[in-house]
Amino acid sequence: MPQRSTTPGLDPRMHAALHRLDLRIIRRLEGLLHGEHLGLWAGPGSEPAEARPYQPGEDDVRLMDWSVTARTTQPHVRDLVADRELESWTLLDLSASMDFGTALEGKREVAIGAMAAVTVLTQRVGDRFGAHFLHRGRIRRWPARSGKAALMSLLSTVAAAPEGGADVEDATLADALDDLARTRSRRGLRVVISDFLDTPPEAVSAESPAPWERALRSMGTRHQTLAVEVVDPRELDLPDIGLVTMQDPESGRTREVRLTPRLRRDYQQVAQDQRAAVRAALRRCGVPHLVLRTDRDWIVDVARFVVEQRRTAHRLSRHTPAIPR
């Protein structure tokens, strides 16, 4: 029997864990892997085709090509063709707060699994996927490739990234979003996986937006964008265990805290406000929002989300009239 190939320089135990993750995702999401690309938006496509004269009463004025119209002095529209190949990019937050976890799987493991699941669900022959990582305050880039070997190499690169440590630079999630939008302009799928913990609880309105909101809203207007929020239950509620030593994963500072009933109630309220601010900001950005918890079966949550989004897309396509040719 031929042996399974491994990634050079990767611990065999880590490679085995990644292989089990790959099989786990493929087997449980197998029923969702069939069919052509189905986006979250209705319409004929997003890639520009040939320009042709405008037909009054038949063509949509939103497709008007003003540059051709100006050169020819005659109204022209530019048709859109459906995308045949998909280029997807994932922005994976690997900051220190993503190393936290109190369930069977930590936030980082769930985030890596989510990236693998989205890639498996969206890939067909000829499609390419790449990734940007926010790690220790530095933005790292992984080039777009295609194929199963490329996916395993990507997962191996992420899994081998060291946890903890001081920030080398001071890049934020907003900086990483700007970098992704600036360097990857071709239309396609964009997935942002983070805990969004840098969102202040008071960022619940357009007057006090989240620091990453402008960049994500801009990305969502050009690309099909999905925001995946990773949550651990201990970030939402504290246990009744008395005196504990807490550490800030971002700064490394520690402090002894007595978890009194009042402190637990205040913490729970602030945590709820912070999550509400994330939901409100993502709603203003107009991007789908998927929440994955470390104490739940996140593969089931991904499957339910995909099924619901596809049903929504089918309903929109049935009720949206086609643009006359």
Question: 180: domain CATH number?
Answer: 3.40.50.410
* pLDDT (tens digit per residue) in 33-59: 444 444 444 344 445 556 888 888 777
Same structural domain, 191 and 215: yes
Same structural domain, 184 and 126: yes
* pLDDT (tens digit per residue) in 162-187: 887 667 778 999 999 999 999 998 88
Distance CA 198, CA 74 (A): 51
Would you say 110 and 159 are in contact if contact means Cβ atoms under 8 Å apart?
A: no
Range of the domain at 67: 47-81
What pLDDT sits at residue 123? 75
* pLDDT (tens digit per residue) in 1-33: 333 444 444 456 556 666 666 667 766 666 554
* Domain-located, residue 91: yes
Which of 35, 63, 81 finishes a domain?
A: 81
Mean pLDDT of the chain: 81
Which of 57, 81, 105 finishes a domain?
A: 81
* pLDDT (tens digit per residue) in 100-139: 888 888 999 999 999 998 888 877 767 889 999 999 889 9
Angle between helices 12-28 and 298-319 (to 10 degrees): 40
Same structural domain, 67 and 120: no
Same structural domain, 70 and 101: no
Distance CA 217, CA 236 (A): 26
Query: Which pair of tokens denotes residue 191?
Result: 């997935």
> Which stretch of 70-84, 167-181, 216-230 has the lowest confidence by average pLDDT?
70-84
* Domain-located, residue 32: no
Same structural domain, 185 and 77: no
Same structural domain, 74 and 97: no
What percent of the chain is predicted at pLDDT more than 90? 35
Same structural domain, 137 and 241: yes
Same structural domain, 52 and 108: no
Same structural domain, 95 and 190: yes
Is the predicted pLDDT of residue 142 greater than 70, yes or no?
yes
Is the predicted pLDDT of residue 298 greater than 50, yes or no?
yes
What pLDDT sits at residue 278? 94
Same structural domain, 65 and 144: no
Q: Which residue in 219, 191, 10, 25 sits closest to 92, CA to CA?
A: 191
pTM, rounded to two decimals? 0.76
Same structural domain, 178 and 54: no
Mean pLDDT within 194-215? 86
